[in-house]
Structure 1
């Protein structure tokens, strides 16, 4: 997904990776706690928690952090979180889907609306953007675990629908390409488990919004799109932002 890989690499170019990682750990902890509240603290009996733990491990989150989040939620010492989806439009007509997990719906809605309006976007109604995306399961492995043919064969056997490769950067800004496996959203747990048996823990396994088509963003609008993405992702209540933009390597380089 171009919007994902371009944005991830731009974060490194702009020196935002440390802040992004802190936000990632916070989001992973929250997801573990929400999963425990919804289905209990036993990952063998709670598929959502099993995926949350797998994601946390895949992102090198310390084991103590994971266990602390589970115990906190199991003990009832957490706020009640509501999962909300916002949809809106950005510069160049791109579509954005913002997923949030919040203990205060009014605060989250106000902050998301402000981020859109202050950065060349408009918050839309539910359904105004999501029809341009497909909700699917996405599993990510480092490219080093297998060559392209081996991963494709294993993924299809595991029940996946497609496999692509994305060029990403690691925390040090070095190349860290990934296998990206797509499957039906209802098959995510099974496909992830099958691949885990063969390749070990995935880097991540999530339900995502995959754009059906990409909108090319060029010139001055590139910087505006990036400001909007930053503003949304910096919000504490926001978990993930999906977008259907594409940016040329030349315009990416101009952002440095």
Structure 2
């Protein structure tokens, strides 16, 4: 085991504030719009396939999601998509981009207690403007020593970020709701990976928990982070 932890990295969406629930609500509305052309399961499968195909082009976030909705609608209607449906999809995307930020329980008080003891870094992926908007509206920005909005989260991301803003990956901990993006690659980089499950997690973020790893832990909410840090030392 290395020396003590000096840097804590936090994911944003569904770790600090609600996010996935707005995607699910928009997808339900989308299913209603296209109900005459496809059943909900087929539509969901088609949308997921198109989102996966488009990730390398659009990245993560609401704008790419909205474009994937339109592409799916064009496909299931065989090119006969009414312009009124396009307008409704675009309106739903704009509404998501304007939705007020809802912070999750225990977030503010936990960050407040940690800010004087550790170097805090926000590490999030997605659309730059939207992530900046949500951080500003959350009122949590002052707790962080650095903010990194990245296109992807992998081993090299954590090596780079924790070297730039901390004492290296081995003295860092990453906390988030995605095993695939927040936990597994952070552990691969040499950091601790702390899994904080959210009731809704996008299917493309699902992987097996690395339960055999010494540096893996799971907590139920951020209120359990301080006792965990005290335990690890």
TM-score range for the pair, normalised by the shorter chain length? under 0.3
Q: TM-score, normalised by structure 1?
A: 0.26
Q: Return the structure number with greater strand share.
A: 1
Q: Which has the larger radius of gyration?
A: 2
Q: TM-score, normalised by structure 2?
A: 0.27
